[in-house]
Amino acid sequence: MLKTIPPSSLGQQALQRPITVLNRSLLGKRAVKKHQHDWGQLIYATKGILSVITATGRFIVPPEQAVWVPPHTDHEIITVSDVTLASFYISVDEIRQLPQHCTVLNISHLLQTLITEATTLSATYDWSGKDGRLLRLIRDYLIEADDIALQLPYPKDPRLIQITMTLQDEPFNNNTLEDWGKQIGASSRTLTRLFIKETGLSYREWKQRLKLQIAISMLSEQHAISAISDHLGYESVSAFTYMFRKELGLSPSFYVAQYP
């Protein structure tokens, strides 16, 4: 069961520097209560996997990757296992070229090294000195970072909400849009159009994105790969492995070895 905890008090105070770094550990299954900031926030997972939930979707953050949350965006943080994270609070004056929407960013090995160094900085660091230059360099690399397709967009249409809520509870459900149409009173053509319009993804792509998020979370909880494959409705482990490698560029077993 998730235990709800408040957001960091530091994250609710006025920034003392253009970029402020906060290190935090969350133990076990936790839900950081929904909140927002007057500035941008980069949430970098040093260890463990976390999810960030907004009004527009769910964003899963594997170890050594990050999610960008723009100012005034309500968000909730969910963990299913022990997580160590670093939050970079970035003032509005420093984020003009960063995305205006929430997204998962691919953090290069170089940027990981810079972020790790930044987590050791004093809260009273000198913005005009070498520490400030380090943080400005991190900001510049973030501007160039690529998105990772690990967000699950939420629809608003009640018919799609019914479908997607069921799929989140039953990821093994293999209903086609024709099957759903018979249940909710809509043609498959209408549902196809609505998925693209409201999520930017086809029905197949949305289901695959959901399954990938669930797979990453279950791997972090040390479930067997065969059990994950069954839970997601794949006919074989090889079919599940193919999907996982296609989306993330590595197999589930290699992922577990890399992020134990």
- Same CATH topology for 3-148 and 155-258: the answer is no
Beta strands in the chain (DSSP E): 3-5, 19-26, 30-35, 40-47, 50-53, 57-61, 66-69, 75-79, 83-90, 103-105, 147-148, 151-153
pLDDT at 182 (0 to 100): 96
**Extents of the domains making up the chain:** 3-148, 155-258
The tens-digit pLDDT sequence of the chain (260 residues) is: 789 999 988 777 889 999 999 999 998 889 999 999 999 999 999 888 999 999 999 999 988 899 999 999 999 999 988 899 999 999 999 999 999 999 999 999 999 999 999 999 999 999 999 999 999 999 999 999 999 889 999 999 999 999 999 999 999 999 999 999 999 999 999 999 999 999 999 999 999 999 999 999 999 888 999 999 999 999 999 999 999 999 888 999 998 888 76
Name beta bridge partners: 21. 88
- In what side-by-side order are the strands of the sheet with 40-47? 19-26, 83-90, 40-47, 66-69, 103-105, 147-148
Radius of gyration over every alpha carbon of the chain, rounded to an integer in angstroms = 19
CATH number corresponding to 3-148: 2.60.120.810
Distance CA 29, CA 192 (A): 36
Tokens 């409201």 belong to residue: 198
155-258: which CATH topology?
A: Arc Repressor Mutant, subunit A (1.10.10)
